[in-house]
Amino acid sequence: MHSLSVPADPKLTLALELNPLYELNNWLQKQLERLSKLGFKPTQLISDPGIGFNKTMHQSWYLLKHIAKLHQNDLELLVGHSRKRFLNKVNAAIDDAANRDNESAQIACYLTTQGVDYVRLHNYQTYHQQVMSLNQLQNNFNN
C-alpha cells in the first residue's frame, strides 16, 4: 500500500503540484524492483494505491477517476476507499463515517468496471444491491 510514512502520518501529503498517478507509478516500480530482488513474483503481490493515506481529498478523487492507469505489471489491484473522509465531497452533511456506505458502494461499482480486482468495503450488502441492479441492466435487457 502506498504511504509516505509508516505508520501513515495524516499531516504528511503528496505535494499539490505533483501528479499523483506519476508518483504512485514511480513508487510502485521501485517497490517491484525491491521485492523482485527478494524473490517475489508480480503474481504474488497486490497493489494498493492507499486512497486517503497521505493524499489530499482531490488527489484521492483523481486517483479513483484514473484508477485503470494504476492497473499494470501483472499485479492485482486493491482499493480501500470505504467510508473515508474524502467522501464528504459527495455530501458535506455526512460527518459520520458509517453514513458513507452508499457513496462507498457506488464508487466500488465504478472501480469494478475499471478492472480493480478487490475493493474493501465496510458494508458489502449495499454494494451487492447496487451491483445486482447494474448486472440486470447490463446483462438481461439487450434492447
Task: Label residue 77 exposed, middle or buried (CB < 10 Å: 0-12, 13-18, 19+).
Answer: buried
Residue 120 reports pLDDT greater than 60? yes
Q: Which residue has the higher pLDDT, 11 or 30?
A: 30
CA 20, CA 23: separation in Å to the nearest integer?
5
Domain boundaries, the chain: 20-139
Tens of pLDDT, residues 72-104 = 777 999 999 887 877 776 666 556 656 777 788
Look up the CATH number of domain 20-139.
Answer: 3.20.20.20
Please say whether the dihedral angle defined by the alpha carbons of residues 72, 60, 56 and 125, taken in this order, is positive or negative. Answer: negative
Q: What are 16's three cell numbers? A: 499539490
Q: pLDDT confidence of 29, banded at 50, 70, 90? A: very high
